[in-house]
Amino acid sequence: MGPMENWEPLSKARHTRPCLPSDLREHSREIQRISAEALLKKIPLEHDVLHRLAPFYYRWSIMYGKTFLYWFGWKPRLTISDPDMIKEVLTKSDGKTFEKIQLNPLAKLLFGDGLIQLTGKKWAIHRRITNQAFNMERVKAIKGVYIPGFRFLPTKMNKERWRLDKETRESIRMLIETNKKAREDSRNLLGLFLSSYKNEDGEEERLGIEEIIDECKTFYFAGKETTANLLTWAVLLLALHQEWQSRAHEEVVSMIINETLRLYPLGPIMSRQTCKKVKLGNLNIPANTQLYFPLAAVHHDTEIWGEDANEFNPSRFMEPRRHLASFCPFDKDYEAVLWTRITCAEG
């Protein structure tokens, strides 16, 4: 009896169709093969791009339905695109029922242990500090600035990664020292990180230098690079749909940004992991099961958005969302507000 037959939900969650592998490596190889094939295909201009953004989901959902189970190595992954289930998971991502999946080591090297990766008390502390730095007035003020094993081997690519990481950390450390000496504006992001804060017991505490460096990396890579990608697509869409250019003023910028994020989400897949045995909808899911939400599929679902789901139509955001989880371009509501402020300012 293979590992799939032993997985408890197979006997209880009958609405979930498993994608059965002959061995635990098969699905990983199949995902790599499907993704490689997808990269060779051209992206059409009508925005029907699910086969490119989430190619393995696109193919397997046709075979197994919108909710299915597959294996990534020895870990079971349950793929869910039902907005009600997604909403339930995101509202209970407190580290007790559901939690974030740890970044892979290469991604962690890029972001460090910043806001995107943190949970619980540390996340709340970093959120409180960053929220002060990124109120809308402060964000507007920066507009003028913008015109398992392989990683340890001393390969040419890894040496370059290590060099860049060292150089980045040293540069940030120099900025920290400069800011410490100047202290001209302690209310900017770096100044707030350096300032002390009161913990729950009313005691004064400070973030460590390494914590500050990781947060600086997070806000640069997550705030700058993802924004550049988003704005590239937004400009292309406006070029293709010139009737919207004359309406691209302050009242409709957020609609254009949201519609761009719907068609081309910054992260086509969001993930969580169960902390304990849980019941989600009609599924009984054991602890330590990875949950994958194909946001690109939800954002392009005609049952949710109508027959024009693959068309660029910012006016769909003039009215309140029909479902809280049907449009989810960011990991949390707070992060959505934070990155939207940065994006609108840079745009």
Query: 51-105 pLDDT, tens per residue?
Result: 888 888 888 888 888 888 888 777 888 999 888 898 888 888 777 888 888 777 7
Mean pLDDT, range 288-298, rounded to an integer: 89
Annotated domain spans of the chain: 3-346
Q: Which two structure tokens, joined as six digits, stand for 165? A: 């990481």
CA distance 5 to 75: 14
Q: Which two structure tokens, joined as six digits, stand for 94? A: 């407190």
- In whole numbers, what is the pLDDT of the chain averaged over residues? 75
pTM as predicted: 0.56
Least Cα distance to 233 among 263, 208, 202 occurs for 263
Strands 278-280 and 283-285: antiparallel
pLDDT of residue 32: 85
Q: Where are the beta strands (DSSP E) in 144-299?
A: 197-198, 204-205, 269-274, 278-280, 283-285, 290-294
pLDDT of residue 93: 77
Kindly report the number of other CB atoms within 10 A of residue 83's CB atom. Answer: 21
DSSP string, 173-187: HHHHHHHHHH-S-TT
- Band of pLDDT at residue 291, cut at 50, 70 and 90: very high
Q: Which two structure tokens, joined as six digits, stand for 330? A: 């960011």
Give the Cα-Cα-Cα angle 340, 345, 347 (nearest 5 degrees).
90
Question: What would be the CATH architecture of the domain defined by 3-346?
Answer: Orthogonal Bundle (1.10)
pLDDT in tens, 4-17: 434 444 433 334 55
Burial grade of 60 (CB within 10 A; 0-12, 13-18, 19 or more): buried
